[in-house]
Structure 1
Amino acid sequence: MKKTCLMILAGTLSTIPPLHAQNQTLAEIRNMRMFETRSAGFVLDRDQSVQIELVGALGNGRGHKLLGTSAWILNAKTREVVWQARSGEERRRSRKLLELQDTAALDKGEYEVYFSSFYYGFYSSDDVKGFGDAIGNVFDRIFDWNRRDERFDDQIYDEAMIVVKGAGRAVPDATVDEWRRELTRDAIVTLTHLSDEAYERQGFTLERPMDVRIYALGEIRYEESYDYGWIMNAKTHEKIWQFSYRNSEHGGGDKKNRLFNEVISLPAGDYVAYFVTDDSHSSREWNATPPYDPNFWGMVIRPAETSMKAYVKNFEYADPPETNVIVKFTRVGDNDYHSQGFTLKKALPVRIYAIGEGRDGEMFDYGWITDANTGKKVWEMTPTPARKFGK
């Protein structure tokens, strides 16, 4: 009887992973500096709850407790945020540091953990519950902003860290880089990891109608776009899709980080994908808290069904040759005024391609055509039926 009990106990113990295997360090990021974002990768061989230990810079403003630190975990395949430092068992480590212990239930798979040391300079509207909170946030910003360097410095970030533990294994940075390359291997267009003042474009042909997934991250506010992209029909020059505030969602980090991750349908045809950035806030150097997927700043377009990649061809797009041009005004500067006369020997249709600035029914940069004999205006660029372009 005693022997049987020992055999049963031995069989039971063999199904339980060793304790050290359940508490392996899967990812660890330490020795941060101000305005830095770093990542590490790990693999889980089974579904489980991982343990997360975080030491971050503590803020005295409203809303975010970790005003000088942010951390999150991405599913490496889906790019979905599966955990972020919002709540957990907290303990104040010092006047400027907060310890956070938390768990995250994760499925078997590959993951990337991120740690960022950017200051949350602007409150989230989600944190404002009423007029009093809004006024309080304004005063926090006025009286705390100039003291942020005193409260958050490199010495503070020497102690900041994140450690993820569980049953799995850590992977080197080269493996994480390969995971990211794998996501673009079957892409139609890859315009990512863009720096400041970039202007990138890629032509592509769809031999069949196709559903494509667009994954785009950029800098867009409600009133204006700064880092964004669009798709143009290469033959007609018609813009058929644009990354805008209205069709996107918050991409994590600062409020101006926007994400588009949807499937759209395109007819067979020739297209050009564009992505442009302004002079600041990009994957080369962030000027505010970066998005959750900072390495994909820009745009990736891929078939919704991988098998459809066989019906895609890429080409280098070139602007059409300037033939039969009657009048051309380009690269017009501020306060410029240009005019040029022309004569038509017979009535004929002409194509006008013009880009200018207009808002709320009023034009600021625009053109017009007048009859030289009568002075009558025969055409003018107006907000309607002009099509919105760019910002």
Structure 2
Amino acid sequence: MRMKPLVKFQIAILLVLIALVVWRARVSPVTFDGVVAVSRIDDGSLIERHFRVEGGAVKTIVSATGAYETDERNAKPAAYLWILDRESGDVVWSMLGGEVKREKVFMNVSDTTWLEPGTYTALYTALGPTSSSVGGGSFLGLKPHWTNDTAPLGFSIAVASDSEGRISVIDGARASVDRKDGLLWDASDLENRDRKTFMFRAEDDVELSVRAQLEICDGECDAARIERLSDGRAVWTLTAADAAPAGGGRSNFRYSGDVDLAPGVYRAVAQTDAGHSLGRWRFNPPHNPYFWGMTLELGSGTVETIDPWGDREPVISLLRVGDDENRRARIEVSDTVVAFVAGMGEVWSSGSRYDYGWLERESSGERIWEMT
């Protein structure tokens, strides 16, 4: 009995599919050997290997295979290695910064670099340049894409014979995240949907050193700012125009600079959205993935930290207000004063208010401040 043409076509397609599956399954990973080495890195991974250089400088031999997103000439890097100095937060070596041998989607690097005594982390990202890159391959991998074959991805760091020192690997569980001492405020560990604030009073003219690293995009991403409490005006805001690319995805930005403040009361704010953040990167992270947020360091002048709920005994206190309760308190002043008001209630962005407070002038009933 003869087979129908349609059945023949279906069998041919099935054989092709089986051949593709067998071919993909037979691809063997490349083995990388060294003091620090990782072979076969899966897409969607961020690999961290911590190590310490001791006893003098070390000449390292670095071999790595990474990948571009596709085989197009202008394709963005999707998987690659770099080495971070944990004390300074600076990149001391990157496979994107040297001579790269390209083979279709793959990039191969073999290089040497000297490392001084200190603590380092080798980071290999395979998260892709965008949030859709990991799942962006074509059906059965018929079109060139970096996720079609991750078997060659990996790296090794070996010590050359003419090195003075040695490399000792640090257990990942014992590798601490470095924090700088002497900061006025540290909010550099923001996670998803995180928000931290810091209130302070500049007693005289103040210069602050501001450092920030967050995601900036056209829509609503992350934010960092310093605002004057008296009128809510932002005196400094993190913008892409003033920041520099932080490495990784194109929306990763970093800022480092000084901000001058006149005497007054201020609030620093750093916040993240529900996407790209510390420990939950949706695409390639910044070169220093251990800093996500904002820090303040006092350059000159005098600053007093303000804790509205615990610093001093308030002149007026209306706390623990119950359901359907209206509470009042009266204060009399004989001269112009600057009042610091801290309140917590239920106020919606739509303008609806259910639990809120206000200050009013008793003689006229004019509201001179209210929660909005």
- What interval of TM-score do these two structures reach, taking the shorter chain for normalisation? 0.5 to 0.7
- Pick from 62, 68, 78 the counterpart of residue 68 of structure 1: 78
Residue 227 (structure 1) aligns with: 222
CA 1:146/1:30 → structure 2, altered by over 3 Å: closer, same or farther? closer
Q: TM-score, normalised by structure 2?
A: 0.63
The code of the aligned residue for 1:332 comes to S
Residue 199 (structure 1) aligns with: 195
Q: Is the Cα contact below 8 Å between 2:308 and 2:342 reproduced in 1?
A: no
Aligned partner of residue 79 in structure 1, secondary structure: coil
Residue 243 (structure 2) aligns with: 248
Aligned partner of residue 290 in structure 2, secondary structure: helix
Residue 161 (structure 1) aligns with: 154
Residue 33 (structure 1) aligns with: 42
Q: Is the Cα contact below 8 Å between 2:220 and 2:273 reproduced in 1?
A: no
Residue 275 (structure 2) aligns with: 280
CA 1:293/1:165 → structure 2, altered by over 3 Å: closer, same or farther? same
CA 1:194/1:290 → structure 2, altered by over 3 Å: closer, same or farther? same
Aligned partner of residue 71 in structure 2, secondary structure: coil
- Displacement, 1:255? 0.9
Residue 101 (structure 1) aligns with: 110
Number of equivalent positions? 286
Match status 1:147 vs 2:165: no
- Pick from 341, 345, 348 the counterpart of residue 320 of structure 1: 341
The code of the aligned residue for 1:117 comes to A
Aligned partner of residue 57 in structure 1, secondary structure: strand
Matches within 5 A, 1:256-275: 256-267=251-262, 269-275=264-270
Q: Is the Cα contact below 8 Å between 1:219 and 1:225 reproduced in 2?
A: no
Q: Which runs of 5+ in 1 are unaligned?
A: 1-23, 123-140, 334-343, 355-391
Match status 1:90 vs 2:101: yes
Residue 126 (structure 2) aligns with: 117
- Supply the distance in 1 between the matched residues of 2:127 and 2:101 (Cα, whole angstroms): 20
- Write 1 or 2 for the structure with the bigger share of helix: 1
Match status 1:77 vs 2:87: yes
Matches within 5 A, 1:368-383: none
Match status 1:331 vs 2:349: yes
Q: Is the Cα contact below 8 Å between 1:272 and 1:317 reproduced in 2?
A: no
CA 1:297/1:43 → structure 2, altered by over 3 Å: closer, same or farther? same
Instruction: Tell me which stretches of 4 or more aligned residues in structure 1 moved more than 6 Å.
Output: 344-349, 351-354
Q: TM-score, normalised by structure 1?
A: 0.60
Residue 212 (structure 1) aligns with: 208
The code of the aligned residue for 1:265 comes to D
Q: Is the Cα contact below 8 Å between 1:97 and 1:156 reproduced in 2?
A: no
Matches within 5 A, 1:349-360: none
What CA deviation, in whole Å up to 9, does each residue of 1:191-244 have, x standing for no partner? 2332222222122345564433222111113x4451121112344433221111
CA 1:50/1:205 → structure 2, altered by over 3 Å: closer, same or farther? farther
CA 1:97/1:349 → structure 2, altered by over 3 Å: closer, same or farther? closer
CA 1:224/1:199 → structure 2, altered by over 3 Å: closer, same or farther? same
What CA deviation, in whole Å up to 9, does each residue of 1:235-288 have, x standing for no partner? 443322111111111111111111112233344554322112222111242222
The code of the aligned residue for 1:244 comes to T
What CA deviation, in whole Å up to 9, does each residue of 1:43-93 have, x standing for no partner? 33444542211122354122357x43122222222222222212336375x
Q: Is the Cα contact below 8 Å between 1:57 and 1:156 reproduced in 2?
A: no
CA 1:322/1:201 → structure 2, altered by over 3 Å: closer, same or farther? closer
Residue 43 (structure 1) aligns with: 52
- Supply the distance in 2 between the matched residues of 1:271 and 1:165 (Cα, whole angstroms): 50
Match status 1:238 vs 2:233: yes
- Supply the distance in 2 between the matched residues of 1:214 and 1:160 (Cα, whole angstroms): 38
The code of the aligned residue for 1:298 comes to G
Residue 187 (structure 1) aligns with: 183
- Displacement, 1:163? 1.9
CA 1:82/1:197 → structure 2, altered by over 3 Å: closer, same or farther? same
Q: Is the Cα contact below 8 Å between 1:41 and 1:173 reproduced in 2?
A: yes
The code of the aligned residue for 2:341 comes to P
CA 1:96/1:331 → structure 2, altered by over 3 Å: closer, same or farther? closer
Residue 356 (structure 2) aligns with: none
- Supply the distance in 2 between the matched residues of 1:62 and 1:103 (Cα, whole angstroms): 26
- Identity value in percent: 17
Q: Is the Cα contact below 8 Å between 2:185 and 2:297 reproduced in 1?
A: yes
